[in-house]
Amino acid sequence: MLRRLLFFVAVGCLVLGLVTLMSGFWPAAFWLLVNGSVLTLGLVFERWRYKPMKTAATAKGLPTGERFVDPETGALTEVYYDAATGERTYVRLSGPSAG
């Protein structure tokens, strides 16, 4: 919900920045375009960087034996490592959000 609202605000800034640019008011247009772009890129980067946890059936690679309790969810989490890509995958084993 918040993500959609932020995308709406970012697109609104970009559109308003373009309209302001066409009207010739450069400082406001620059401010709107820069902030709209930064917000849009931040939302895209956040989605790419912070992926949801996978299940053991969908995780690639082998378990490393590393286990910890995720401080955000309180779930027991295990680390899987894919030697071909170097990717580490975090798999929720049990806890309040498991299943």
Q: Give the CA diameter of the chain.
A: 61
Residue 29 confidence (pLDDT) = 94
Half-sphere exposure of 94 (CA within 13 A, CB side): 1
Residue 39 confidence (pLDDT) = 93
Half-sphere exposure of 62 (CA within 13 A, CB side): 4
What does the alpha-carbon distance between residue 7 and residue 13 come to, in Å, rounded to a whole number?
Answer: 10
In the predicted model, what is the mean pLDDT of the chain? Answer: 84
DSSP conformation letters of 33-75: HHHHHHHHHHHHHHHHHSPPPBPTTT--SEEEEEEEE-TTT--
Tens digit of pLDDT for each residue in 41-71?
988 887 666 666 676 667 778 889 999 998 8
Which pTM does this prediction carry?
0.51
What does the alpha-carbon distance between residue 22 and residue 17 come to, in Å, rounded to a whole number?
Answer: 9
Delimit the domains of the chain by residue range: 2-49, 62-94
